[in-house]
Structure formats: structure tokens, C-alpha cells
Amino acid sequence: MRIIVDRSACIGAASCVALAMKTFQLDMEGKAEVIHVTDKQQTTDESSGVSTIDNDAREAIIDAARSCPTNAITVIDDDGTPIV
């Protein structure tokens, strides 16, 4: 699963953090970001903010993305199908 946070759309409401605190956090600017975990296999492209991780349960991550008031979080399944 890939998670993309559109930082320009994020307003820092932190609903994603409340629902999936092992996957999302607010950065120094109060914007959501995907937590990078070094002990789990992941791929990251810093320039696009794209990460692949499994920190929280799949449904928790999807619920967190759906809870975003500005739809700043996109979740894409492993086969490339957009989930949220």
C-alpha cells in the first residue's frame, strides 16, 4: 500500500494522526506526514512524499485518509488501484 500526503492541501487537522498514530504524525510545520520506520521494509521517494509502509492496520490507515477534511491523503493499493 502506498500513502501520499498532499502537503499543500493539508491543514493540520490531525484526524489522520488520531486514527492511525503509528502511520501519521504532524511535522514541524503542523502538516501531516507518513512516519518512516527503519525496522520495517518500506520504499520512500522524499521528493513526492510517497511511502509504502504497514504501521497501522490497513483499515485504520484507510479510515484515517477518509477522515481528512481536505482530502489531502491518497491511499493506493499494491496493484495500483486507488483506495482513497
Where do the domains of the chain lie, and which CATH numbers do they carry? 2-76 (3.30.70.20)
**Tens digits of residue pLDDT in 7-36:** 999 999 999 999 999 999 999 999 999 997
Which is more confidently placed, 74 or 1? 74
pTM for the model:
0.78
Q: Is the pLDDT of residue 69 over 80?
A: yes
For the four alpha carbons of 56, 60, 62 and 68, in that order, the dihedral sign comes to negative
Residue 10 burial by Cβ neighbours in a 10 Å radius (0-12, 13-18, 19+): buried
**Tens digits of residue pLDDT in 30-66:** 999 999 754 444 444 444 455 545 578 899 999 999 9
Mean pLDDT, the chain, as a whole number? 84
